[in-house]
């Protein structure tokens, strides 16, 4: 698919789920190979991996226009939001939103005036100046701001958070959410499932797309059946280690 025909944010408005995967390595060949596999978008993880902002830009360059490139930021700071958006990414994912004011801060960093106060740069996003005016006038409606709800404090205010103009989608983080509830790693605990249900319901009511990370295709199926639209299926290294281990184990069995 040639993603340049439609922006990521416009694509998010469609009912059909967006199936992506998580990129945690800097080599552009890895991201390019995943893009060639058919993942429609890549969740480029600058929060929990060695990928830095320069590598993220190179990954986006390697997969465009085949796949959308969306950067998960290390934190909710103007420094990271503006640097990421200026790479020309299709969206940013801001982790660890805990309150309405955190969400409003993210909007103010990520959206140009009058919606926010995004700082004006001259970089790849603006085609190094060649597309400056067009980018400035269209970025707010084409580049997605996705907030991660992964703390119980955010769940308590999720109905207000999804109502904020400029919040384009929600990505649920079950692992950090479970940790914030004193249930580290227990993502199937009833309290965590209930909290996630509240987030999903708030998104449904506000017609804000949401999604989550899924380790397996079966989990992704459940997520889609539950209304999830922004799907991250596996990671670059999970695909590699899973296949490598299985191949080694099957060979070892033949020779044991
Ligand atoms: C979490 O579960 O905390 C995540 O951030 C998943 O992406
Ligand atoms: Mg997390």
What are 92-136's pLDDT values in tens digits? Answer: 999 999 999 999 999 999 999 999 999 999 999 999 999 999 999
Q: Is the pLDDT of residue 1 over 60?
A: no
Each residue of 85-123: b (16+ CB within 10 Å) or e?
A: bbbbbbbbbbbbbbebebbbbbbbbbbbeeebebeeeeb
Q: Which residues line ligand 1 (CB under 6 A)?
A: 150, 173-176, 213
Which ligand 1 atom sits closest to the C-alpha of 179?
A: 3
Compute φ and ψ for 163, nearest 5 degrees. -85, -5
How far CA 71 is from CA of 94, 131, 201, 241, in Å, comes to 9, 21, 25, 23
**pLDDT tens per residue across span 141-175:** 999 999 999 999 999 999 999 999 999 999 999 99
Q: Where are the alpha helices (DSSP H) in the chain?
A: 8-12, 28-37, 53-63, 78-85, 100-110, 132-142, 152-155, 158-162, 174-180, 190-206, 217-225, 236-254
The catalytic residues are 48
CATH match for 8-254 among 3.20.20.60, 3.40.50.2300, 3.20.20.70, 2.60.120.10: 3.20.20.60
Helix (H) or strand (E) holding 21: strand 18-23
| pTM of structure | 0.96
Domain ranges of the chain: 8-254
Distance (Å) from CA 148 to ligand 1 centroid: 8
Q: What's the gap in Å between 83 CA and the centre of ligand 1?
A: 22
């Amino acid at each position: 698919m040639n993603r340049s025909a439609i922006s990521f944010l416009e694509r998010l408005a469609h009912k059909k789920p967006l199936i992506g995967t998580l990129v945690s390595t800097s080599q552009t060949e890895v991201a390019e190979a995943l893009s060639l596999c058919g993942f429609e978008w890549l969740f480029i993880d600058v929060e929990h991996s060695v990928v830095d902002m320069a590598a993220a830009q190179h990954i986006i360059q390697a997969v465009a226009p085949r796949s959308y490139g969306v950067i998960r930021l290390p934190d909710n700071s103007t420094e990271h939001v503006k640097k990421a958006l200026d790479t020309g990414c299709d969206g940013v994912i801001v982790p660890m939103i805990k309150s309405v004011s955190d969400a409003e801060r993210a909007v103010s960093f990520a959206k140009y005036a009058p919606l926010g106060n995004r700082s004006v740069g001259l970089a790849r996003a603006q085609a190094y100046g060649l597309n400056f005016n067009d980018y400035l006038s269209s970025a707010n409606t084409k580049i997605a701001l996705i907030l991660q709800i992964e703390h119980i404090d955010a769940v308590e205010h999720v109905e207000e958070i999804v109502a904020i103009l400029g919040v384009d989608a929600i990505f649920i983080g079950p692992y950090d959410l479970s940790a914030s509830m004193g249930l580290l790693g227990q993502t199937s605990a009833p309290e965590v499932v209930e909290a996630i249900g509240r987030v999903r319901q708030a998104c449904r009511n506000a017609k804000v797309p949401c999604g989550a990370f899924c380790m397996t295709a079966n989990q992704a199926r459940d997520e889609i059946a539950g209304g999830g639209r922004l799907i991250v299926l596996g990671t670059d290294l999970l695909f590699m280690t899973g296949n490598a281990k299985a191949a080694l184990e099957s060979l070892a069995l033949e020779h044991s």
